[in-house]
Amino acid sequence: MATRRVFIVFVLPVIFSIVVGSAVLAGILQQPDRELNMWPMSHSIEVGSHNSPIEIIGLSKQYLTTEPVEIQIQVNDSSFDCGDLYVTVYLSGRNTVITQGGFLEQCFESGNAIIPVGGEFSEIVDTPGSYDIEAQMISKQLKTISTKGTFTVK
């Protein structure tokens, strides 16, 4: 008698949830312009590549410990006229975040695609070493573009 209750209370709801969830997901994926993206990672394009949708402007190869890292971002993709910009500095070769800047609701005209609007990312990295910098733009439609660069601090 106890095994029947266990089946009704625990196993049957799990099976029901999987069946209903699969039916809902299948229905949503049948709609036009829908896709299943289980790992939403952006395609990274290295700095300096031509015709890339996003580029880092003003990144030097080397900085002093007292000198700020000052950059701006140029967006060449017309579908990104508004969105959120995130700039993150990592310790090179690791995912250890050193500093991060967020610039929300960055909107610009098609003729001037430089962001952040009215400013620039400026941070001092005071520990010598090699660093990676990533600029990521997320549109209001949740499309993502990003680019990376590398610099050293002496």
Per-residue 3-state assignment (H helix, E strand, C coil) for the chain: CHHHHHHHHHHHHHHHHHHHHHHHHHHHHCCCCCCCCCCCCCCEEECCCCCCCEEEECCCCEECCCCEEEEEEEECCCCCCEEEEEEEEEECCCCCEEEEEEEEEEECCCCCCEECCCCCEEEECCCCEEEEEEEEEEECCCCEEEEEEEEEEC
Nearest by Cα to 145 from 58, 52, 66: 52
**Model confidence at 40: pLDDT above 70:** no
Residue 113's contacts (CB-CB under 8 Å, 6 or more residues apart) are 74, 75, 76
Per-residue model confidence as pLDDT tens digits over 9-37: 888 889 999 999 999 888 877 877 666 66
Per-residue model confidence as pLDDT tens digits over 80-106: 778 889 999 999 888 889 999 888 888
**Model confidence at 41: pLDDT above 60:** no
pTM of the full structure: 0.63
Per-residue model confidence as pLDDT tens digits over 99-145: 998 888 888 765 667 888 777 788 999 999 999 999 998 888 888 99
Say what the pLDDT of residue 135 is.
Answer: 92
